[in-house]
Structure 1
Amino acid sequence: MLINDKIYGEFNISEPVLVELIRSDEIRRLRKINQVGLLDKHCDHPNFKRYNHSIGVMLLLKRLDASLEEQIAGLLHDVSHTAFSHLYDWVVGSNADEDFQDNNHDGFLRKSSLPQILSNHCFDISDINGLEKFTLLESPAPAVCADRIDYSLREFQSWANPGAVQTCLNSLVNHDGNIVFDSFRPAYIFAMTYMKLQTEHWASASQVLKFYLFADALKTAINNGVITHEDFMVDDEHVMKKIYSADDKGTNDALAIIKRDMRFEEVNEGGILLPEKKFRYVDPQFLRNEIYRLSEVDKDYKRLIESERINNSRELRVRLI
């Protein structure tokens, strides 16, 4: 199977288990789930699919000489995402940690066709499912890992810092099962651009407002019997098709508020009190004869982390204009 990825280039996937998994209904479903969680027409920046990210994580792990088991885990790590990705956390009330998918990953896997596919190739789902043992794939924040690196590089390329993609990618090193940068400069570039994604996209006032309003529209659709929570286990298109077909006034009115270029102003009282968005940042390690963490060497970056952490926790009220 030949894959041509916009970040990693051309790869020939020769492992039968990976080929069969990529062709499975569970992985193919991710083609219809947006990574960011909003409809394309509402996004401030270019969107991409969970499928692209899942394939990308697998390819990055392959570049880093990860085991086949870890490559499989990387391919499957997001397979349990609901429609609209982390926006569903805002529907069910887990937006502070955005962990609905993580908490339901094991159950989803075991009820799917994936255990049988793995068994056909002499793998056991239990050997794949414990993501904590795959440290190239997943490491606790603020470390970098294949998951964080891939979705970041896709946004670097599409808007945030296109020129940094290959600089950062080509400096990644598998150091005793952990991802580090081979020098200070790419580690710094990656960390600063990641912070740009946080402040100008993921936790920007515009993005948080749109998440809040879209989640409210989806909750209205649920309360009015237009959709059910089970519908979110299909994909974005399925949910929106049911909403558009129902033509429910309450849901339509809630959706009509959301625009790509929303006009709003911050206010001290009244308006909409926006929920606090998850604070995301990285503090990557890099090589300089020995291993250093970026904030140990760059005190300005350490201060920036704390400044943005405080800014992210600030109460934010807005009024639509």
Structure 2
Amino acid sequence: MKIIRDPIHGNIELNEIELKLADAPEMQRLRHISQNGLCNLVYPAMNSTRFEHSLGVMHLAGKVADHLGLDEERQDLKIAGLLHDIGHCAFSHTSDHLLSRFGFNHEENSSRIILNTGISDILNSYSISPEKISDLVTGKGNLSKIISSEIDVDKMDYLLRDSYYAGVAYGIIDLERIIHTLKLAGGEIIVGSGGLEAAESLLIGRNMMHQTIYRHHTKRIVESMFANAVNSLLNDGKITYDSFLGMDDIDLVYTLRNSGGYAGEMMHRIDTRKLFKRVFAEKINKTLRSFRSEISKNKKEIENKISDDAKIPRGFLLMDMQSSEMSEFKVLVEYDNELKRIDEVSELAKALEKAELERLTFCIYADPKYRDNVKNLDIDDYIQYTQTMLKKFY
């Protein structure tokens, strides 16, 4: 048994197999992958990594298993918590859309690593099924909801951890009370009777962290510049699919700094804080929302069209369509002897859900010297352009 001291949860215990998995190269790589992408350029102390977050999720998975009396499944759940983020690429969610261009997400990449690397050998040596762990990580089966669902140990850890390192109190949640009120019902993780206020604390924490930390406009600008730079490397063949999957933050930054061209310039701008600015912002109305998927599919085409019309060099104007899955508002709670969604019984949840939609913004970032070039931009013109493209190609 080994004890690791954690600033969020105190002592975290690892048994023999958990320690072997944590020491595996595939897990040690997470020590060099930031938990929050480039958040540290806005909140300088946000330098935590996916490694300590994974330890925290493992720890909480064990606590939830103990509370629910899942003695036989406890070890599998803890291992799934430890390995759930093993497939994250460099800079975590900043790179998520780059994974999507290869046709999968980081959970599916986690499954690939669990099933096809030394991780599988370690699991097999302890008679633990890699396939079962993979299923828990990728959301298959009822117990996977403990790891990833509307109310899960992943969210519980990252809200507490991220708020701690950001130096804010927004993500403080009533962790012990939330865990104490969790129940298994019909294959779902639900909040039991009397736990409504604890679940509301999670909604408040999540909402405040998204508005102030995760959607901070400077963070989104930097991440847009960074992602565009990496995209250009992939498009130019300077890095391959396989090499990208194996990179950590250090590898990717080194590659960008030494790449020259557009990617090198973007990285230099980030290093020296010569950042793009928000030159256009508009709340996402019903029209924009209805064309979100089409705009996302044709993002580069529309960016180029706006750039050409505004006489801005391509690559120096970037679009950002904020989105929210708002899965937490689907949390099931016991209320008046029935199971109901939290946004059906909580006025606070309803208000937060409404505020979430109203705050989503469509933004354009560009080199500040081009600010005047887009001051008369009418986004409706480009929605019409999108419609024309759809008719042309479909």
> Shorter-chain-normalised TM-score: which range?
0.7 to 0.9
For 1:316, the equivalent position in structure 2 comes to: 363
Question: Is 2:191 aligned against 1:186?
Answer: no
Contact preservation (8 Å) 2:147, 2:154: yes
Deviates more, 1:31-40 or 1:216-225: 216-225
Q: Is the 8 A contact 2:41 2:219 kept in 1?
A: no
Cα-to-partner distance string for 1:197-253 (whole Å, 9 max, x where unaligned): 222232343332222111111223334554333332231112222333x35143221
Q: Which amino acid aligns with 1:211?
A: E
Residue in structure 1 matched with residue 120 of structure 2 by the alignment: 115
Q: Look up the SS of the partner of 2:174 in the other structure.
A: helix
Q: Which residue of 2 aligns with 1:158?
A: 165
Offset from partner CA, 1:78-119 (integer Å, 9 cap, x none): 111111222223335569xx9621233322222210111011
C-alpha change, 1:54 and 1:125, in structure 2 (3 Å) is: same
Structure 2 CA distance for partners of 1:273 and 1:248, relative to 1, 3 Å = closer
- Residues 85-96 of structure 1 aligned to structure 2 (within 5 Å): 85-91=92-98
- For residues 20-57 of structure 1, give each alpha carbon's deviation from its aligned partner in whole angstroms, at most 9, with x where no partner exists: 11111111110001122227446577242111111110
Q: Which residue of 2 aligns with 1:175?
A: 183
Unaligned stretches of 5+ residues in structure 2: 283-305, 369-394
Residue 214 of structure 2 is aligned with which of 199, 202, 205? Answer: 202
Q: Which amino acid aligns with 1:195?
A: N
TM-score, structure 1 length as denominator?
Answer: 0.83
Give the whole-Å Cα distance in 2 for the aligned partners of 1:28 and 1:116: 16
Aligned residues: 314
Q: Which residue of 2 aligns with 1:2?
A: 3
Q: Is the 8 A contact 1:226 1:248 kept in 2?
A: no
Match of residue 278 from structure 2? 264
The CA distance in 1 between the partners of 2:104 and 2:48, in whole Å, is 20
- Is the counterpart of residue 302 in structure 1 residue 350 in structure 2? yes
Give secondary structure in 2 for the equivalent of 1:123: coil
| 1:279 to 1:260, Cα distance in 2 relative to 1, 3 A | farther
Relative to 1, partners in 2 of residues 1:43 and 1:192: Cα closer, same or farther, differing over 3 Å? same
Of stretches 40-49 and 226-235 in structure 1, the one that deviates more from structure 2 is 40-49
**1:125 maps onto 2:125 in alignment:** no
The Cα of 1:295 is off from its aligned counterpart by 1.9
8 Å contact 2:173–2:205 — kept in the other structure? no
Equivalent residue of 2:5, what SS? Answer: strand
Larger deviation, residues 63-72 vs 160-169:
160-169
**Which residue matches 2:378?**
none
In structure 1, the residue matched to 2:324 is 279
SS for the counterpart of 1:70 is: helix
1:183-262 correspondence runs (5 A):
183-224=195-236, 226-232=238-244, 233-244=246-257, 246=258, 248-258=260-270, 259=273
SS in 1 for 2:239: coil
Considering only CA atoms, is the larger Rg found in Structure 1 or Structure 2? 2
Q: 1:214 & 1:121 partners in 2: Cα distance?
A: 41
In structure 1, the partner of 2:35 is: 35
TM-score by length of 2: 0.69
CA distance in 2, matches of 1:74, 1:146: 8
- How many Å separate the matches in 2 of 1:280 and 1:203? 14
Aligned to 2:156: 149
Q: What is the alpha-carbon distance in structure 1 between the residues aligned to residue 205 and residue 275 of structure 2?
A: 23
1:276 Cα deviation after fit: 2.2
Q: 1:241 to 1:169 in 2, by over 3 A?
A: farther
> Contact 1:198/1:280 (CA < 8 Å) preserved in 2?
no
Aligned-partner Cα distance in 2 for 1:238–1:100: 20
Q: Between Structure 1 and Structure 2, which shows a larger proportion of helix residues? A: 2
1:24 aligned partner: 24
Measure, in 1, the Cα distance between the counterparts of 2:48 and 2:119.
24
Bigger RCO (CA 8 Å, 6+ sep): 1
Confirm whether residue 53 of structure 1 aligns to residue 53 of structure 2.
Answer: yes
- Percent sequence identity is 21
CA separation of 1:58 and 1:116: change in aligned 2, threshold 3 A? same
Q: Give the unaligned 5+ runs of structure 1.
A: none
Deviation at 1:192, TM superposition (A): 1.1
